[in-house]
Every structure is written in structure tokens, then in C-alpha cells.
Structure 1
Amino acid sequence: MLTRRLLSTALLACAAALSGCARDRAPEVSYVLLNGQKASSQQWAGKVMLVNFWATSCATCVGEMPRIIATHNKFKGRGFDTLAVAMSYDPPAFVSRFAETRGLPFNVAIDNMGSVAQAFGPVQMTPTTFLINKHGEIVKRYVGEPDFAALHGLIEQLLAEG
């Protein structure tokens, strides 16, 4: 009898813990890429997405970009994609020059009006990075540079999920 009561209590505790783990859905956003192409978050369906808010004037953003590139290149063939969202205060010419000279291998969006950053929080500090699962749920938010080893482990987990 005691064992059943303990088991029942344990199950209720687990259920309560799991219900507290509900993930926020990533916002539905539309944006314009550096090449002028219009895109939206609907194109992320079924992918694990890394959405990085950054600025060319942000030393940490510039410093982490080689690791963002390496992360993208490591996972891109497995259902993973990256979007770098330049903040509204970043001059588009600076963003374009940065993307070209650094050979950014992923899409770069210009958030001229700040609407994408607003939809995500709002994002006020750079870098801020979101990891989104295949179901469109925000799994992790990083303010500042992420621990890339831990990030890679989490990406591996998300790619393995159905």
C-alpha cells in the first residue's frame, strides 16, 4: 500500500514537472534577406533553426561569428539552418559588407523596422540567439555568446527527435 502511494505521488510530481516544461512557440515573422528576397518563419517548418540577433558594431557578435559559421556548416546537411538577423540600428551597407567579407554561408536578414526583434521578446541585447526545434518551439535562448559545445549537443538531440 505504501509503495502504491509513493508511486502515485511520484507520478503526480513527474506530471506536474512536465507540464511546467511547456515551450513557447517561435513567433511567426516575415523578413527580407540581404539579396532582397522575402522570407518567413513558415519556411522553418521541420528544421532545427538557430536564429542569431547581432550587429556589426557588437564585438561579441563579431567574435562569435566564426563559431556560428562552424555550427552551421557542421549541421546544415541534417535538417539544420541558421538565420542571422541584423538589428535595426545596423546600417545595411555594413551588414552586407560583413556578410560578404566573412563569407557567411547562411541567410542574413535586415530587420530595418525592428519587428523581428520585437516579435522574439523583444530582443534588446546582442548577441541574442534562439534555438528552435522542428516543431517551431523555442528550446533555448542565449543572451551573450553560447557555450558552443553544449549548443552542439543540444542540436544533436533536436535533430534526432521526430
Structure 2
Amino acid sequence: MKYLILTGLLVFLSACGAKQNESRQQARQNESGSAQRVERLDPYSAPLHRAQKKATATDFEVTLLNGETFRLSEQKGKVVLINIWATWCPPCRDETPDLVDLHEKYKDEGYLTLGVSIDEQGESVVRPFMEEYGVTYPMYIDSDGTVMEKYGPTMGIPTTYIIGRQGNLRYFAVGAVTKKELEPRIKELLAEGN
């Protein structure tokens, strides 16, 4: 019971921390006028922030839940969405059906979703979650912090990164992102070609 209360408090604080940081950032942008405004397509989605500078996504190599090796740099030519999440996170649960739909819809066009679970219980909770939600995209359990070391620390979960065909970080979001917010950006990046 103590663990559940603590977990709930951490989720609440993570979400609040992300909202406070977003509010502070917007206030600073309004004051300075120099930061680019985030175009939101869905008011129910976390905003997707466009990368302001060209930056190559940090490479990593991991062994997926299905036993295959995944190396980010070998995905060049594809649009890759990296979603850092956990089974105990309600916003993560909310966005999963949209991530599954997008993966299925665009996987034959050069799009790939990679799930990165930070669940400490590992496969015992991730596999049942994948079955319940029909997750078909590759999944990695980041028990040793391989991905979080390169893409963290995050302000909260879920955290999403979208990498373009050339291997550059193009968008990121903290919080649940909807299909309505993601799909136009994915289509835009897929249209850029190789």
C-alpha cells in the first residue's frame, strides 16, 4: 500500500513538474519574444516541440524484448519515434493505442516506433501490458539505464522523441501525445524522403 501511494505521488509530481516547467518556459518566451511558439494541433495532447538546431540523435544499441538487437544508427532512412514510458503511468496507458495505430499505419512507409519501458519489474509487467494493448512495435526494457543515460533525465513520462530520416532529432514532447498531434508531423518527416 505504501508503494502504491508513493508511486501515485511520484506520477502526480512528475506531471505537475512538467506543467510548471512548461508554464515557466511559456512565460519566458512571452517576455523575451525570441523563442519559437509551439503549434498545437490537439489541445488534449502534450505539445510537440520542434528541434531548434540540427542535432544528430545520440546512438545506442540494445537487445529488444523479442531478442533482436536494435541500434539506432542502423535506422537511418526511417522516421523513428522513441517513447519512454511505464506500465504504472496513466498518461502512458492513454497514448499507447495511438502509438500502436500510427506504427501499424506507417511501418511500411519507413516509420518505426520504439517503446522504452522504465518498469523496474521488467517483463513480468511489460509483456502483459503489450498483450492487453496489442502493442506490435519493438519494445526495450531499460533496466540498466542505457537509453535514459543518453536521453534523460526526463522531466516526466511519457517522453517522446521523433528522429527524422537523416538521424536528426526533430521533435520531442513530455506528456501523453495524441495521434492528432503526431500524425501530421510523422507524415511531414516521411515525405522528406531519404
Q: 1:98 is matched by which residue type in structure 2?
A: F
C-alpha offsets along residues 91-110 of structure 1, whole Å, 9 cap, x if unaligned?
Answer: 32101221123221110011
Counterpart in 2 of 1:37? 68
Correspondence 1:126 to 2:169 = no
What's the % identity of the aligned pairs?
33
| Distance (whole Å) between structure 2 residues aligned to residue 59 and residue 88 of structure 1 | 13
How far is 1:88 from its partner? Answer: 5.1
How far is 1:124 from its partner? Answer: 4.8
| Distance (whole Å) between structure 1 residues aligned to residue 72 and residue 153 of structure 2 | 17
C-alpha offsets along residues 96-136 of structure 1, whole Å, 9 cap, x if unaligned?
Answer: 22112322111001111112012013335210011110011
Correspondence 1:68 to 2:109 = no
Q: Tell me, what secondary structure is at the counterpart of 1:131?
A: strand
Note the residue ranges of structure 1 that are not aligned, 5 or more in a row: 1-16
What is the TM-score of this pair, normalised by structure 1?
Answer: 0.81
Q: 1:46 is matched by which residue type in structure 2?
A: G
| Distance (whole Å) between structure 1 residues aligned to residue 109 and residue 164 of structure 2 | 13
Q: Between Structure 1 and Structure 2, how many residues are aligned?
A: 144
Counterpart in 1 of 2:109? 78
How far is 1:36 from its partner? Answer: 2.3
| Distance (whole Å) between structure 2 residues aligned to residue 33 and residue 56 of structure 1 | 17
Any residues of structure 2 matched to 1:96-115 within 5 Å, and which? 96-115=127-146
Note the residue ranges of structure 2 that are not aligned, 5 or more in a row: 1-35, 37-50
Query: What CA RMSD, in Å, does the superposition of the two structures yield over aligned residues?
Result: 1.9
Q: 2:56 is matched by which residue type in structure 1?
A: R
After TM superposition, the runs of 4+ consecutive aligned structure 1 residues lying more than 3 A away are none
**Which has more radius of gyration?**
1
How far is 1:23 from its partner? Answer: 2.2
What is the TM-score of this pair, normalised by structure 2?
Answer: 0.68
| Distance (whole Å) between structure 2 residues aligned to residue 151 and residue 72 of structure 1 | 11
Contact 2:98 2:178 in 1 (8 A): no
| Distance (whole Å) between structure 1 residues aligned to residue 127 and residue 62 of structure 2 | 15
Match of 2:171 among 137, 140, 144: 140
